């Protein structure tokens, strides 16, 4: 069933507001929704509940919304760049590079202490860009041509190599405390969210999404086909490289603060296309809100399903994303059978 983008945005925004209030109210300590609203509007007196809402849960909910929106937008763009419905930041090795960079800082203790809040994001950016450069070099064919299929194959190979490097760093670490810290981080989680962690990913992902919205038409052309886009005047090689760099930067900003949360960039774009179609100008805002809603709800489930145990949200996204991935493969195989 198709809806207009305006209606879809309105419904998703309302659902996100409800999910956010639920995320602030539910947890090991239950808080009435009315009390949450009073706290948010400044009508509540200072209390432990006010501290829980404003200093513990609100940064986590906001970070989840930002990261979820960013991952969904990145997945949408990468699927257009490589013309592969299974593409997301993890498939192309970008998230693995960001993870390897951040884990290196944690294990090696670079900038230990307060400086870790700077060195981990910086290392994640560097890792994302390093993996991008490697994928880009491996994907270039004769004459410098770079196709979507070569990008996917190169990305998968680089992802495996970097994942192995991350595991090697972990098992050779002399500090046993690193094992639990890195394991939680590589599984993806929002439990360490603080107010001072919001600015960089929020600004980066918002600015990047706005830039990508302005590139909606060339993304539509690329999705329609390589030859057709070239005939219509798009330099596909240069455009793909530039947007791939931007997607890597956005992935680094997301992974640096949440760890490796998978499948958001795979599932949300497909669901959004079923609602508003494939045109990127109307698709990207819907995808951003859908990704924010999905991750806020997933993190709420991660905090409550086994409370007081806090499950890494990446575990829950993988549990839902794995079957979705298999469904996509089955649907693609069925389509090939019909086409034959």
Mean pLDDT of 204-209: 90
Mean pLDDT of 138-156: 72
Closest residue by Cα to residue 150 from 233, 243, 83: 83
Tokens of 147: 């196709």
Asked, as a colleague might, if the bond just before 235 is cis with ω within 30 of 0, I would say no
Tokens of 288: 């951003």
Q: Using CA atoms, how far apart are residues 309 and 261, in angstroms rounded to an integer?
A: 18
Query: DSSP state, 100?
Result: H
pLDDT at site 144: 61
Q: Using CA atoms, how far apart are residues 215 and 46, in angstroms rounded to an integer?
A: 47
8 A C-beta contact, residue 259 and residue 186 = yes
Predicted TM-score (pTM) of this structure: 0.87
Q: Using CA atoms, how far apart are residues 146 and 3, in angstroms rounded to an integer?
A: 36
8 A C-beta contact, residue 125 and residue 252 = yes
For the stretch 72-89, pLDDT in tens is: 999 999 888 877 777 777
pLDDT at site 17: 95
Residue 142 has pLDDT above 70, yes or no: no
Residue 333 has pLDDT above 60, yes or no: no
Query: DSSP state, 142?
Result: G
How much is the mean pLDDT over the chain?
83
Query: DSSP state, 146?
Result: B
8 A C-beta contact, residue 23 and residue 60 = yes
For the stretch 262-300, pLDDT in tens is: 889 889 998 899 889 889 999 999 999 999 999 999 999
Mean pLDDT of 232-256: 82
Q: How far is CA 170 from CA 100, 136, 180, in A?
A: 10, 27, 10
The CA-based diameter of the chain, rounded to the nearest angstrom, is 68
Instruction: Name the phi and psi angles at 46, rounded to 5.
Output: -55, 130
Query: DSSP state, 308?
Result: T
């Amino acid at each position: 069933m198709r809806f207009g983008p305006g209606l879809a945005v309105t419904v998703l925004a309302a659902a996100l507001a409800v999910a956010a209030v639920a995320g602030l109210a539910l947890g090991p300590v239950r808080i009435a929704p009315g009390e949450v609203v009073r706290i948010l509007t400044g009508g509540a007196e200072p209390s432990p509940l006010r501290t829980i809402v404003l200093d513990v849960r609100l940064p986590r909910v906001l970070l989840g919304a930002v990261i979820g929106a960013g991952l969904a937008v990145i997945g949408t763009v990468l699927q257009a760049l490589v013309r592969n419905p299974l593409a997301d930041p993890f498939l192309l090795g970008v998230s693995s590079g960001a993870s390897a960079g951040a884990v290196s800082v944690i294990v090696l203790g670079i900038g230990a202490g307060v400086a870790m809040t700077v060195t981990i994001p910086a290392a994640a950016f560097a890792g994302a860009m390093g993996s991008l450069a490697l994928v880009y070099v491996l994907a270039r064919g004769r004459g410098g041509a770079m196709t979507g299929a070569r990008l996917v194959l190169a990305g998968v190979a680089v992802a495996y190599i970097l994942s192995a490097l991350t595991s090697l760093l972990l098992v050779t670490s002399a500090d046993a405390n690193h094992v639990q810290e890195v394991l939680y981080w590589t599984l993806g989680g929002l439990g360490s969210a603080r107010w001072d962690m919001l600015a960089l990913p929020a600004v980066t992902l918002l600015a990047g999404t706005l830039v990508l919205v302005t590139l909606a038409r060339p993304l539509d052309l690329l999705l329609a086909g390589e030859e057709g886009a070239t005939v219509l005047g798009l330099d596909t090689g240069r455009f793909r490289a530039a947007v791939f760099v931007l997607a890597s930067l956005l992935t680094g900003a997301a992974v640096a603060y949440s760890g490796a949360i998978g499948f958001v960039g795979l599932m949300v774009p497909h669901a959004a296309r079923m609602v508003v179609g494939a045109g990127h100008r109307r698709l990207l805002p819907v995808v951003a809100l859908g990704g924010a809603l999905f991750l806020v709800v997933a993190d709420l489930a991660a905090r409550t399903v086994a409370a007081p145990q806090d499950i890494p949200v990446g575990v829950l996204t993988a549990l839902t994303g794995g079957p979705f991935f298999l469904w996509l493969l089955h649907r693609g195989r069925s389509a090939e059978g019909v086409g034959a």
